[in-house]
Chain A
Amino acid sequence: MKRFIGFIKKEFYHIFRDKRSLFILFGMPIAQILLFGFAITNEINNVDIAVLDHSKDATTKEIINKISASKYFSIDQFIEKESDIKSVFKKGKVKAVLNFEKDFSKNLIKENHSNIQVITDATDPNTANTISNYVNAILQNYLREQNKNSTSAYQITPQSRMVFNPELKSVYMFVPGVMTIILMLVSAMMTSISITREKELGTMEILLVSPLKPLQVIIGKVFPYIFLSIINAVVIIILSLFIFKMPVQGSLFLLGLESVLFIITSLALGILISTISATQQTAMMISLMGLMLPVILLSGFIFPVTSMPLPLQIISNIIPAKWFIIIIKAIMLKGVGLQYIWKETLILLGMTVFFIGLSVKKYKIRLE
């Protein structure tokens, strides 16, 4: 045990003295999250909107006043017919159109229910999404005030419609993707580099000709990165909570367990890479080309798996990241428990056992 601790101590010295690995370890997650956080900002201010009011009654007027009084929106123009919507958007200034149905007030009183359509320009999907949410919030506020003074519960159903990019995916999808990439990068690439570095420097020869067991060397190499990856996962979740204001719906504990599982999968891959590469450069290239690219392209992070050609869909099944992304999306966004994701978890677990077995088998106790 003392040997093992000595070994791990040495690994931490390496990590904290190498600026490059420190940057990858801590700079990258923060930079990536900030990058995404900045790109997907949900702050809007004084967005120009147009109003198509088919009712022109007291309620619609009130709502319009409320919206224009907020600092988020300013009413650019009123339009008269449906056909104007498109042309208004084409000019580009107006980002959203509020379409009140006919007899808005009447319906609300009579049936306790009326409809408003929020049409947004989804060429900028993030803004479009945010606008919808804000309009929605203002409407709900208004309803709360109204319902306070009345016995019946009014309901207004806003129907969001996006034009130009109807297939809009939630921005929250990026957080699981970024987390996957970073865990993969830190775990697989950093371990494979740190093992091949010993080969390159010739220190691996000395380690082999020592009473350290191969398993001790592997675990000693991997342990610091398990630790650091967990820290990274925590940092990412905290940052996304604050910058994306992204709630984690499901169990944090389950999320943690699944993350640890994926970290171990990646580490096993890293060890495997190090057994087949002789230099740090090769290890880096294999990690980038062999792991990062598939993760970005085939895992469903950016391109939905369902819209890929069939052969790619089949290939995507052997990418651990795909399963991990499904799992964490389910936990973070849908808030589901293990009963819904046990299949994916089992697949990931199987892959992990396979990779660990393979890398231990491939790890050489000699030089050839």
Chain B
Amino acid sequence: MSISLKNISKSYNKVNAVQNITFNVKQGELFGLIGPDGAGKTTLFRILTTLLIPSEGTASVAGFNVVNDYKSIRNNVGYMPGKFSLYQDLTVEENLDFFATIFGTTIEENYDLIKDIYIQIEPFKNRRAGKLSGGMKQKLALCCALIHKPKVLFLDEPTTGVDPVSRKEFWEMLKRLQQKGITILVSTPYMDEAELCDRIALIQDGKILEIDTPKAIVKHYPKPIYNVRANDMYQLLKSLNDYSHNHSVYPFGEFVHYTDSRSDFKPKELEQYLESKNLLDIIINKTAPTIEDTFMELAK
């Protein structure tokens, strides 16, 4: 096991940030922690990177205990905290050079590992990090976290606030790093990124809702989901929320994802109800649940 947590809890001033968290990440796995802000993702990252001592439980990273062997862990992991944490007043190259030096290596020594990413920002290597765009900063931060060839890479919300294009590129980079044998633990509030991970843990309010592969998690969804659409979104939502048999009603892109509380649900019945509410162009289709559906169902 590359990362292993057993019954980890952490509380600050009597508030439980995370409670009784147990999971394992295999060598070379891309593992996602999926949950909103305040779910406790950052606390878990800080425990695993030896920045915080857990209140209860034990955890190890790359075979080292997070409390006792913190020095060994610090030599073997790469960490990209949630906040943009590079030196804004140093240039791209100076930042990278600095992190290489403090880890006792050089850019040349591990250039292979970062080459794919670095060549994208190399044209700006003399620009100060503070003047880079969001996507480029993120690439530089990743290079800095990788420069000492870590065994395990911790990425805390690397894609938050980043546009979809840069996000997509970033995930492609992660996939390539994974192929080089690096274990990656990544957190994200974007549910659509979950399916890019090998396995995910859904986390909310400091507790794990479920851990599995994205496919399996979706399969566990207990009810059939229907895409519902009509000419007026606001009226549609209102009518569905008023419908006495509804189990869940969530807007999902151009549709509303609807589940019914009855086991013998007939779409026709719902259609008639919606028509009675003066809605037009009604479409009701069965659809496949997504990670987000599962998350909401579990978090309900």
* A contacts, CB < 8 Å to B: 2-3, 5-7, 9-10, 13-14, 17-18, 201-203, 205-212, 365-368
Nearest CB in chain A: distance from B144 CB, A = 8
Q: Of B84-92, B165-173, B256-264, B284-292, which stretch is located at the interface?
A: B84-92
* Chain A interface helix/strand/loop/mixed: helix
Given A211-B71, A367-B46, A201:B85 Cβ within 8 A:
yes
Q: In the bound complex, do residue A206 and residue B94 qualify as a contact, i.e. CB atoms below 8 Å apart?
A: no
A-B contact count (CB 8 A): 85
Residues of A within 8 A of B144 (CB): 206
The stretch from B29-37, B96-104, B201-209 touching chain A is: B96-104
Q: B101 and A210: CB pair below 8 A?
A: no
Residue of A nearest to B78 (CB): A209
A190 to chain B, nearest CB (A): 15
Given A205-B51, A206-B79, do A211 and B104 touch, yes or no (CB 8 Å)?
Answer: yes
Give a binary string over B67-111; 1 marks a CB under 8 Å from any A CB, 0 the rest. Answer: 000110011010101111111111000100111011110000000
Contact with B102, one of A212, A366, A368 (Cβ below 8 angstroms): A212
Q: How far is the CB of B221 from chain A (nearest CB, A)?
A: 37
Contact yes or no, B87 A201, CB < 8 A: yes
Q: How far is the CA of A92 from the CA of B70 in the complex (A)?
A: 76
Assess whether B85 is in contact with A365, with CB atoms less than 8 Å apart.
Answer: no
On chain A, the residues within 8 Å of B99 by CB distance are 206, 210
Whether the Cβ atoms of A10 and B51 lie closer than 8 Å is no
Q: How far is the CB of B55 from chain A (nearest CB, A)?
A: 11
| B50 CB within 8 Å of chain A | yes
Asked if B218 lies at the interface with its beta carbon under 8 angstroms from chain A, I say no
A69 to chain B, nearest CB (A): 62
List the B side residues contacting A14 at CB < 8 Å: 87, 89-90
B101's nearest neighbour on chain A, judged by CB, is A6
**Are A3 and B85 within 8 A (Cβ)?**
no
Task: Kindly identify which residue among A202, A205, A211 contacts B103, using a CB–CB cutoff of 8 Å.
Answer: A211
Q: Which residues of chain B from 177 to 219 have any CB-CB distance to chain A below 8 Å in the complex?
A: none
Bound-complex Cα distance A202 to B86 (A): 8
Give the shortest distance, in Å, between A304 (CB) and chain B (any CB).
44
Q: Which residue of B lies closest to A210 (CB)?
A: B102
- Say yes or no: A206 contacts B85, CB within 8 Å: yes
Question: In the complex, which residues of chain A have a beta carbon less than 8 angstroms from the beta carbon of B117?
Answer: none
A-B contact pairs, 23 of them (CB 8 A): A3-B104, A6-B101, A7-B98, A13-B90, A13-B94, A14-B90, A201-B83, A201-B85, A201-B87, A202-B83, A202-B84, A205-B79, A205-B81, A206-B99, A206-B145, A208-B50, A209-B49, A210-B74, A211-B74, A366-B50, A367-B51, A367-B52, A368-B12
Binding site for A on B (CB under 8 A): 12, 46, 49-53, 70-71, 74-75, 77, 79, 81-90, 94, 97-99, 101-104, 144-145
Determine which residue in A2, A14, A209, A212 has the highest number of CB atoms from chain B within 10 A of its CB, and name it: A209
Q: Determine whether the beta carbon of A209 is less than 8 Å from that of B90.
A: no
A209 and B77 alpha carbons, distance in the complex (Å): 8
Residues of B near A208 (CB, < 8 A) are 50-51, 74
Which 9 residue pairs of A and B lie closest in terms of their CB atoms, listed nearest first? Answer: A6-B101, A202-B85, A202-B83, A17-B89, A367-B51, A209-B79, A209-B49, A205-B81, A203-B85
In whole angstroms, how far apart are the Cα atoms of A278 and B29 in the complex?
36
Asked if B87 contacts A207 (CB within 8 A), the reply is: no
Residues of A close to B81: CB separation below 8 A:
202, 205-206
Interface centre among A3, A5, A9, A205 (most CB of B within 10 A): A205
Q: Pick from B51, B97, B98: contact of A209, CB below 8 A.
A: B51
Distance A10 CA – B96 CA, assembled complex (angstroms): 11
Partner of B89, one of A9, A18, A206: A18
User: Are B89 and A366 neighbours in the complex by a CB distance under 8 Å?
Assistant: no
State the CA gap A224–B53 with chains docked (Å). 32
**Besides A7-B101, A7-B102, 13 new A-B residue pairs in contact (Cβ under 8 A), listed by A number:** A3-B101, A7-B98, A14-B90, A203-B86, A206-B79, A208-B50, A209-B51, A211-B102, A211-B104, A212-B102, A366-B52, A368-B52, A368-B53
B74 pairs with A209, CB closer than 8 A: yes
- B145 contact set on A, CB distance < 8 A: 206
A333 to B32, CA, bound (A): 69
